[in-house]
Amino acid sequence: MNSLPDGYRAVVVGASGAIGSALVQALQADPRCASVQGLSRHGDPVLDLCEEASIATAAERLRAGGPVHLLLCATGVLQVDGRAPEKRLAELDAATMARALAVNAVGPALLIKHFHGLLPLRERALLGVLSARVGSIGDNRLGGWYSYRASKAALNMLLRTAAVEVARQRPLAVLAALHPGTVRSPLSAPIIGGAAAEAASPADAARRLLSVLDALPAEGASGSFHAWDGAPVPW
């Protein structure tokens, strides 16, 4: 991460997941990274995106360590309680939709609420959240996957809106939504089936995502949506 100050501090939320753990490992291997803190429901401190109190407590505990230059939210749910993504309107279920929105959109928004104050005021900082191309309204040509699409579209709007506010006090911070592509993970396994061999490994996905974030310009990039190869994704 050459665009960040030498000795930068990183935090990865969702560190127990496939991409999250790969991001932690990639950052641990970066000699310019002074420390990387992985957070999850199974860590210490515990951070559960569906429990705002745990988010606030984790942020407060990390505050004593100094500013965070890189914050990554590598969380998400595709199947809720074993339900495959809906293909038809007849399959919509209110509880399933609410859960998808809570995990994929509301949780990351609350994370930004409590953690953006840890970003430095006058140094470059990066905040990335895992979105998905299917959350693009403009790119939706196939339909289906109602809850997942809607929750990721909501995440994109929340991220873009937060970027406007964060910029008022932290003009060097860049917030971005990231599409990791198809990655071999427990989340994608029930969906990709025989295409698993063509999917990226978590390590490759982590490397690509960090490269995309690192290359984002200081001006004009905050609140943007990019794919794993750096290409912008339409809203």
User: What are the tens digits of pLDDT across the range 88-112?
Assistant: 999 999 999 999 999 999 999 999 9
The predicted pLDDT at position 28 comes to 98
> Residue 33: what are its φ and ψ, rounded to 5°?
-90, 120
Amino acid sitting at position 234: P
Residue 18 has a pLDDT of 93
Q: Please give the C-alpha separations between residue 149 and each of 42, 95, 119, 144, 178, in angstroms, as whole numbers.
A: 27, 16, 29, 8, 14
Residue for token digits 């990554």? Answer: 72
Residue corresponding to tokens 């942020």: 59
Record the pTM. 0.94
Give the per-residue pLDDT at 140. Answer: 95
**What are 211-225's pLDDT values in tens digits?**
999 999 999 999 999
Query: 111: which 2 tokens?
Result: 């994370």
| Cα gap 57→64, rounded to integer Å | 12
Residues in the chain predicted with pLDDT less than 70, given as ranges, are: 187-197
